Structure 1
Amino acid sequence: MNTKTIADYANVHVNTVRLYEQWSYISPVPRAANGYRQYSAVHQQQMMIARLAFRQELIQNNLRKRATKIVQLSGREQFQEALNEATSYFNHLKAEHQFVLEAIHEVEQLLCETPSAPVPLQTHKQMAQRLQLTEETLRNWERNGLYKIERNRQNRRQYYERDYQKLLMIRTLRSAHFSIAAILHLFEQLDNFTPGVDIKNLLNKPKFTQYFLYVTDQLELNLRKAMTDVTEIKQRLSSLIASTHA
């Protein structure tokens, strides 16, 4: 098959096919006597493996690098090694997805808790220590509008228990790689919070008025899609392994 045929099959531009060959994402392509490239069924599979691996823009925890490694191994026709890496990658994605779900669950639990009895005011330094965060991290969250804090007559921040609860929510979501934009959207929706609100749904649907959708805004959804894609990658690699041993 020619370049256009395989490009149409993978739903990419013909230049992308040439780039994938240049980057060794697919095996070296032989040429006919007239100089035209001649692609095989193996190249078809390798193209689809690359497209599936890069379909979800996951940048946290070196996930992109792991996806690239699978594609590179496939391009070198090291299909068994690529399958092993894909299996490991799937398990990593699964763990990341579970972590996100746990973070969302923790937020839901925090929202349903009744704040404890008032405690003495805490300083900026004391709150940072309580949350095991740096003082600069708290200042950064405040600058980005994630929370507002009262100040005393000396213009020093003073924290109440309600502030601790909100900061704990922020810390949980940030540790799960949710973007500041996604968390801001969540808090806007929770201004009139009632028990039973679907936190996961809110995080997966940013406002239409947002000009930019950060990669992590739909992290939970993208992780699920990525696991589906990797499952298909594993199937294609297994098929390639079977064909080489036939």
Structure 2
Amino acid sequence: MKTYSTSEVAKVVGLHPNTIRRYEEWELIPIPPRAENGYRVFTDYHIETIKIAQIAFQIEVLQSGLRITMVDMVKAVARYDFTEAQALLDHYLNLVDQEISDANDVIHVVEEILDGKTEEEGTCLTRSEAAESLSVTSEALRNWERNGLLTIKRSKNNYRVYDGEDIKRLKIIRTLRSAKYSLAAILRMLNAIDQEKQDIKPLLNPTDPDDSILTACDNLIVSLEKAKNNASELKQKVNTMQSRFFNNKK
């Protein structure tokens, strides 16, 4: 079997040698054996695993544990657990589909806001219920509140309650955070909605498309579709690796 030094692997995959060592520390590749001189000895399996990681981390979508799922998938490949890797990719694809659905939902919410539609009364959720419905943590909701992105009402027993309009607002915040908008940028957009005398259309659909909530959602959907394509490609690559290297499993 052909073997490689750290610098040779780095050249093949287009990374710095220090990055290759980091991959080993992070358990993203199998631990390479050492030669008599103490140097690491890499194989084609290491190279293919690094290529898997490069595709896996190409799309930076952090929401709903997407990034963590990809990290776990690469680690599964690194320890030759192909069944677990495929299961994680299936899970990832399901998560991406849900994220695409959520982003489309926010587009619908923004369109309703532009049309002046309000949520019917009836929804009343606790913080934990609201967090669960949005697939975020309660701490994320606290952080958004602390940064002035929303003000939550209190029930008679002084508990925070989230109504339908709050959930709409939270959906917008969640999606914009997924699209990597800063809290300050999100606050500016939301403040436009809160100012009743201001025409919010220029701020929701501004001249500069980078400041548009609708554009942000569209761009996020494009990224998610790319992530979905990458995951489908990875499923094929993992199958190929299993066929090619299974007999070399330690």
Please classify the TM superposition score into its range, dividing by the shorter chain length. Answer: 0.5 to 0.7
Question: Deviation per CA, 1:121-147, whole angstroms, max 9, x where unpaired?
Answer: xxxxxx9x866467xx99987874658
Shift of residue 85, structure 1, vs aligned partner: 1.4
Shift of residue 202, structure 1, vs aligned partner: 2.1
Counterparts of 2:81 and 2:126 in 1: how far apart (Å)?
44
Query: Which of 59, 64, 73 does residue 61 from structure 1 map onto?
Result: 64
Shift of residue 189, structure 1, vs aligned partner: 8.3
Shift of residue 98, structure 1, vs aligned partner: 1.5
TM-score by length of structure 2 reads 0.63
> Is the radius of gyration larger for structure 1 or structure 2?
1
Counterparts of 1:225 and 1:182 in 2: how far apart (Å)?
25
Counterparts of 2:52 and 2:144 in 1: how far apart (Å)?
39
Counterparts of 1:31 and 1:202 in 2: how far apart (Å)?
54
Equivalence for 1:173: 172
Structure possessing the higher relative contact order (Cα contacts under 8 Å, 6 or more residues apart): 1
Higher mean displacement: 101-110 or 165-174: 165-174
Counterparts of 2:56 and 2:31 in 1: how far apart (Å)?
20
Counterparts of 1:227 and 1:62 in 2: how far apart (Å)?
14
Query: Which of 193, 196, 201 does residue 193 from structure 1 map onto?
Result: 201
Q: Aligned runs of 1:98-117 on 2, under 5 Å?
A: 98-113=101-116
Tell me the SS of whatever aligns to 1:72: helix
How large is the Cα RMSD of the aligned pairs?
4.2
Change (3 A) 1:45 1:181: farther
- What code does the residue aligned with 1:224 have? E
Tell me the SS of whatever aligns to 1:95: helix
- Residue identity over aligned pairs, in percent, reads 29
Equivalence for 2:135: none
Which segments of structure 1 move beyond 6 Å, counting only runs of 4 or more?
Answer: 137-143, 198-201
Change (3 A) 1:197 1:36: same
Which runs of no fewer than 5 residues in structure 1 stay unpaired? 117-126, 149-163, 207-215
Equivalence for 1:243: 244
TM-score by length of structure 1 reads 0.64
Which runs of no fewer than 5 residues in structure 2 stay unpaired? 128-139, 152-162, 194-198
Q: Aligned runs of 1:87-126 on 2, under 5 Å?
A: 87-113=90-116
